[in-house]
Structure 1
Amino acid sequence: MTALPKWMYPPRDEGWFADDLDNLPEAPRHTELIDGALVFRTPPQRSWHGRLVTALTNRLTAQAPEGVEVEREMTIRLDRRNRPEPDLLVTTSPYDPDRTWYSADQVQLVVEVVSPESAHRDRTVKLRKYAEAGIPHYWCIEDEDGAPVVHVYELDGPTGTYVPVEIFRDVLKRPVPFPVEVDLATLTP
């Protein structure tokens, strides 16, 4: 067994901080920080996942009003020790070519497409962390026999937790964070 590369050892006893991610050029793409620990995306994503994220990004971008940006695979700095990377996010912050992350208050919607390796994080850990950070809308997309199923959550202000709003199997139609209508059957071949 070979030793881990030096860059993989946390710089301090309490682990990594959100700002550390920008100083790890050796880290693989799509490295996330969850509770001070680096999380690597493994194994490679399935084609279904990639096509769905690309198609949904395109549909949302086409429907987004002026001043709303749709980004994919950008990290969100939730706090000092958490910087997850959702599959897609919606923000009202202007485009910045040098940006490497968004703060939670800049994000209106987070979308996670569940993979076998990310299922627990997407369904529980990230659901809780995005809500605690105050992100108003969360969509969790599952693969149901090859078809996308979208579980929609909204932040409940008084409790600071997400509440389930609806599950969409055919057409996703929502008035928030902006009017959206997507035929889910067109997102995957």
Structure 2
Amino acid sequence: MGAVMSVEPEYEWPRPPVGGYTADDLDRLPNLPPHTELIDGSLVFVSPQALFHMRAMRVLENHLLQAAPPELEVVREMTVTLGPRNRPEPDLMMVRAEAFAGLRQTSFRPDDVLLVIEVVSPDSEDRDRDAKPRKYAAAGIPHFWRVENDSDRPVVYQFELEPATGTYAVTGIHHDKFRTTVPFPVEIDLTAICLSS
């Protein structure tokens, strides 16, 4: 029997340059999968999202859109350039409206970001719990929320930048209902994430 020939071209993975990729490379590399992030000069490809992740993002985004003051804009799945080797993509961000530079914009500066939100997936636990919050805090982003699935119940961990240490301090752990006045007043029924549609 002869060998079976494939009619599809073999995919060629990008080869990292010496020293790793830079934030600008994300806009230049062809054929990157959607939602590719840059962490410490390495490309990070995300796995397919779970239903919890999608619903958490939808519920949070809808409430933030309703509650946000006019000088802030809700941004979904866009990157923030933390430095030349770090360009993560938070699930949601609250960005100052004056930071928008046109419809071709692909990233924001940390100075323009007031809040980042990460919805934790099994493949992103280490990044969302450790690497990314450390980098967001070091860049001076004032607020960080981490959303987790705890036995099919959402939990929101709320953090605020502590100026003396330059790290995040926990300011609340929220089950069922999330209510805060910082960085602006918002109330979110977290049980809506897990209700059947």
Structure 1 length as normaliser, TM-score? 0.93
Instruction: Please state if 1:74 is matched with 2:68.
Output: no
Aligned to 2:28: 23
Cα RMSD (Å) of the superposition?
A: 1.5
Q: Secondary structure at the match of 1:18?
A: coil
Residue identity over aligned pairs, in percent, reads: 48
- Whole-angstrom CA distance in 1 between matches of 2:81 and 2:37: 10
Aligned to 1:104: 110
Shift of residue 145 of structure 1? 1.6
Aligned to 1:176: 182
For residue 120 of structure 2, the aligned residue among 89, 114, 121 is 114
The gaps in structure 2 that reach 5 residues or longer are 1-8
Contact 2:52 2:193 in 1 (8 A): no
User: Map of 1:9-88 to 2, 5 A cutoff?
Assistant: 9-10=15-16, 12-42=17-47, 44-88=48-92
Q: Which letter does structure 1 place at the counterpart of 2:141? A: I
- Whole-angstrom CA distance in 2 between matches of 1:3 and 1:17: 26
Structure 2 length as normaliser, TM-score? 0.90
- Whole-angstrom CA distance in 2 between matches of 1:159 and 1:69: 28
Aligned to 1:90: 94
Q: Deviations over 1:3-40 (max 9, x none)?
A: 8625x112x31010001100123100000000000000
- Whole-angstrom CA distance in 2 between matches of 1:119 and 1:37: 17
Instruction: Please state if 1:5 is matched with 2:12.
Output: yes
Quick check: 111-120 or 165-174, which moved more? 165-174
Instruction: Please state if 1:167 is matched with 2:173.
Output: yes
Q: Deviations over 1:139-183 (max 9, x none)?
A: 011101212100011000111000111100021111111111111
Q: Which letter does structure 1 place at the counterpart of 2:35? A: H
User: Map of 1:139-158 to 2, 5 A cutoff?
Assistant: 139-158=145-164
- Whole-angstrom CA distance in 1 between matches of 2:51 and 2:175: 20
Q: How many residues align?
A: 185
